Chains A and B, each alone.
Chain A
Amino acid sequence: MTEIVKALNVRMKFKAVEALTDVSLGVAPGEQVALLGHNGAGKTTLFRLILGFIKPTAGSISIAGFTPGSDAARRVVSYLPEQVAFPKMLTGREVVRFYARLKGAAPGDVQAVLDKVELVEAADRRVDTYSKGMRQRLGLAQALVGNPRLLLLDEPTSGLDPLSRQHFYELIADVSRRGCSVLLSSHGLSELEARTDRVAILRKGRLVADGPLAELQHQADLPIRIRVRAASGAVDTVHAEIGGGRINCASVELYCARRDKMRILSKISGLGAQVEDVDVASPTLDEVYRYFSNNGIEQTRRGDIQCTA
């Protein structure tokens, strides 16, 4: 099966800055890929290349086998920019109908997508009465109309409250179950709530990670935090036994590599009644993201607190 997006060694140089350097990325049909990176990491540049608004300085991109920006490619892709302000005076239905006509979609599609994003009741109200979440859903409706094969969503959930965000991802999951590929960008991993098949991370125009979330977590191999609360008076014994650092007069905290985790835990359990509680925390998604997007600075800092067990 041909990939919907196939970018090979793409380099994009604007006058003074190199926005993308040697980026290769593929999106398979029906796959959900999250593109992460700081502001200015090159996410939007990659989107503009995929849309054919700009041409790469070097390398190649194809959209389902077509040149980006060609009529055939534009029939494949649907786009939702990070910020879009639809004409305030139009109703939601008029906005969706406008884009449906431009894309040559069937008239019945308008009602179907409004239904899907749950805007049917508000469809005949003017856009300036919509809440932020509703506007974002309207943007998604506009992108969904005409059954695109690739959805390109630029930071679709930034500024949404957690509930709207969750709802938004449910909608996207539903769309991708029907075979539509989704490439979306986001600020951080925690925003995604582990919902995408694959995560690609851009740092200063370079692709520094590309794989399923579990694989990235494994690859980063960030230390695991173990926090032990000692029984009263036993904190010194516990500290002497397992090392780490004392965070107050009752608890000891230490970081260790994944492979050392079981060894340390068995040692802690060997302390018996001297330990009151143990809390084990795996690295959060944010920490994994920071590891890749900051080139492991985080890990270096963590390395100071060595596991001395």
Chain B
Amino acid sequence: MHGVITIAATEIRIGLRNRWIILSSLILLAFALILVLLGSAPGGEVKTDAVTVVVASLSTLSVYLVPLIALLLAFDAIAGEIDRGTLQLVLASPVSRGAVLVGKFLGHVAVLAIAVSFGYGIAGLVAFFASGGGDAVALIGVGRLIASSIILGATFIAIGYIASASVRQTGTAAALAIAIWLFAVVLFDLALLGGLLASQDGVFARVVFPWLLVFNPADAFRLYNMSAIDAVVVGSNLGGAGSALPLSGLATMLSPVAWTAITLGLSTFILKRVRP
């Protein structure tokens, strides 16, 4: 336990020191503010549910940005430390490999949590006050977005560790991380869309599609946030396709949580077999 806290605290310290946290916060904030400004433009006037609209746009942004930031944090965790010789030192000390990984995980999740809270928190407040106060309930939506983004980030951090522990070179781990990102948030959805178009009889749309949608942690995240928002206001996309989803509401977040648990276990297993 001592080792876990020490490693987590050091990761946070490094994240602060090398400006990782500030940089990713600013990127999230910049994108979020653009969406806030664009979101209020088309209507001409700012409605009371402006914050809700912003939350909807931000959750789509999150699907792309948060996994990317998470993977960039994670790919270096094992391969990079082997490259630099510091993993050998950590493993030579009486700390279990499981504790090393959990410590890094907690540290990286904290780094991501700070960045997401800061970036989305400020954007949410800007939208709130720009719309002239209004319904404070909408702010709960911002909180929900932040919390679910952190869970989504945690999932991709754990997935990134598998990439980092499986290869010996940092460069290979980085390439692998980008490939995972591309597949999970871009190609997967495109493939699903293609499947929907190709399946004429509708079996795919009714039976397979909903499960595949929930299976992908990024899509599950989007479903959760969309279902949480009043679908009438925002207008729904994938989730409202008329197909019965296997999971609904908060339960959709079980997908990223399960992914996190499984991939964290798997990367610990791989790390135990690493011979530095």
Contact = CB atoms under 8 A, between A and B. Distances in A.
Contacts of B2: 101, 104
A137 to B, nearest CB: 15
Interface residues of A, number: 28
Describe B's contact surface by its main secondary structure: helix
B94 interface: yes
Interface stretch (A87-95, A220-228, A277-285): A87-95
| Most B-side CB within 10 Å, residue of A48, A98, A102, A104 | A102
Given A101-B2, A101-B6, A102-B3, A89 B88 contact: no
Contacts of A101: 2-3, 6
Nearest to A74: B94
Given A74-B93, A74-B94, A90 B85 contact: no
Given A84-B84, A90-B17, A98-B6, A142 B275 contact: no
A81 B88 contact: yes
A51 B93 CA distance: 9
B86 A87 contact: yes
Contacts of A85: 84-86
Interface in A50-90: 51, 53-54, 71, 74-75, 77-79, 81-90
B10 A75 contact: no
Interface in B143-200: none
Contacts of B13: 89-90, 94
Interface string B76-112: 0000000011101111111100000000000000000
B14 A99 contact: no
A201 to B, nearest CB: 25
Interface string B1-43: 0110011001001100110000000000000000000000000
Interface residues of B, number: 22
Nearest to A146: B93
Contacts of A79: 88-89, 92
B235 interface: no
Contact of A84 (B6, B89, B93): B89
A99 B275 contact: no
B14 A89 contact: yes
Nearest to A78: B92
Interface in B236-257: none
A102 B85 contact: no
Contact of B14 (A81, A84, A87): A87
Contact of A83 (B6, B10, B85): B85
B276 interface: yes
Given A78-B92, A81-B89, A102-B94, 8 more contacts: A79-B89, A84-B89, A87-B14, A89-B13, A89-B18, A101-B2, A102-B3, A102-B6
19 contacts: A48-B276, A51-B88, A51-B92, A74-B94, A83-B85, A84-B85, A85-B86, A86-B84, A89-B13, A89-B14, A90-B13, A90-B17, A94-B10, A94-B13, A98-B10, A99-B89, A102-B7, A102-B93, A102-B95
